[in-house]
Amino acid sequence: MDHVEQLRSLIGEAKRIVAFTGAGISTESGIPDFRSPGGIWTKYKPIMFDDFMSSEEMRREAWRRKFATDEVMLKAEPNAGHRALARLVEQGRMSAIITQNVDGLHQRSGVPANKVIELHGNATYASCLDCGHRHELDAIRKTFLGAGKLPLCEKCDGIVKTATISFGQQMPEIQMARAQDETMACDLFIVLGSSLVVYPAAGFPQIAKRKGAKLAILNRDPTDQDADADLVIHAEIGSVMSRAVGVN
Ligand SMILES: [Zn+2]
């Protein structure tokens, strides 16, 4: 059996699958890996959450960066890897997709929002840090780039920020707890496009293994956890997943 057939058979035998996705699945949609050499975070010093909260100038800088770099994300479309996962969710075989990505491409590929657990939030909209009210980026872009005005919540006057988890910001407790529950309940855990270095997220494959689930890792490069996996594939995600699941 080649690797794709092995993956197909692991998927076929599983009753409850959880996917864990990282930047690698979205680079195939043209979204750069911000952490990679030459990525955005190596060009700009990250804005820490506390600085964003305490400094109007930092908030201005954060929104300037956001709108200067947003075009790539706006243009990106889901790829065959996203579509394969969407099919497994639709078939009721995949109970959740835990993702480190903030691009919303799993939802755009047709996965219901309640099946996507976003550990690092979502960069395609903004929210009020006080009341949680959702704000659309289009409106913020117009008033920020047009009148130079920082967004304030129309419900409570709170500070509005892209709905991502910033450096120095607490991990989202509800999502972390849900990710843990899903991981403990699955019998196949598939990692796609994550180098598994960022904790606590990278701890999930270990949890799955300890609970007796099978572990498959699909990533372009080797990861620290390859030795623990039942199947390791170093290849492009879209082509492997579309063959393993049978979608285009
Ligand atoms: Zn508010």
**The sheet that has 17-21: what strands, in order across it?**
116-118, 94-99, 17-21, 188-192, 214-218, 231-233
- pLDDT reported for residue 44: 76
H helix or E strand, kind and range, residue 90? helix 80-90
Q: How far is the CA of 40 from the centre of ligand 1 (A)?
A: 29
Q: Helix (H, G, I), strand (E, B), or coil: what is residue 170?
A: coil
What is the reported pLDDT for 37? Answer: 55
pLDDT at 74: 87
**Protein residues near ligand 1, an ion, with CB under 5 A:** 128, 130-131, 133, 153, 155-156, 158
pLDDT in tens, 74-112: 899 999 999 999 999 999 999 999 999 999 999 999 999
Instruction: Please give the angle made by the CA atoms of 153, 157 and 159, to the nearest 5 degrees.
Output: 65
Q: If the chain, 248 residues long, is cut into consecutive pieces of 10 residues, what is the mean pLDDT of each piece?
A: 94 98 95 67 81 96 92 92 98 97 96 97 96 96 95 96 93 94 98 90 94 97 95 97 92
Contact between 208 and 186 under an 8 Å Cβ cutoff? The reply is: yes
Q: What is the pLDDT of residue 245?
A: 97
Task: Please give the C-alpha separations between residue 122 and each of 119, 177, 199, 218, 236, in angstroms, as whole numbers.
Answer: 9, 18, 18, 23, 24
Grouping H, G, I as helix, E, B as strand and the rest as coil, residue 240 is: helix
Distance 19 CA to ligand 1 centre (A): 33
pLDDT the model gives residue 1: 76
Nearest-angstrom CA–CA distance, 9 and 168: 41
What is the Å distance from ligand 1's center to 162 Cα?
A: 13
| Interhelix angle 137-147/56-69, nearest 10 degrees | 110
Ligand 1 centroid from CA 69, angstroms: 26
Asked if residue 20 lies in contact with residue 99, where contact means CB atoms within 8 angstroms, the answer is yes
